[in-house]
């Protein structure tokens, strides 16, 4: 087992773009945040209005095809 010590707000990067960040530490436990680079890229794309319009059209097409 590999054990790391980190303070609140500090993070560890594992492999290709997986970040484990200490969000909160208290008496009843530790809260960790895990972010993968692919999730970050998807969030950036979702925040881009031009990309969201294309995604919306694709979702609507899938829903129409499913209804048939």
Structural domain for 22, as ranges: 11-67
Residue with tokens 């790391």: 4
Given this model, what pLDDT does residue 9 score?
Answer: 92
* 1 inside domain: no
Q: Which residues pair with 19 in a beta bridge?
A: 13, 35
Residue 68 to residues 9, 18, 27, 57, 62, Cα–Cα distance (Å): 49, 40, 54, 17, 10
Tally of domains in the chain: 1
* 31 inside domain: yes
Given this model, what pLDDT does residue 29 score?
Answer: 92
pLDDT in tens, 13-48: 988 788 899 999 999 999 999 988 888 888 887 787
Given this model, what pLDDT does residue 42 score?
Answer: 80
* 5 inside domain: no
Asked if pLDDT for residue 52 goes beyond 70, the answer is: no
């Amino acid at each position: 087992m590999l054990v790391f010590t980190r303070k609140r707000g500090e993070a560890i990067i594992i492999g290709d773009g997986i970040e484990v960040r200490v969000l909160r530490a208290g008496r009843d436990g530790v809260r960790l945040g895990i972010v993968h680079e692919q999730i970050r890229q998807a969030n950036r794309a979702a925040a881009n209005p031009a990309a969201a319009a294309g995604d919306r059209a694709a979702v609507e097409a899938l829903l129409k095809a499913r209804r048939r």
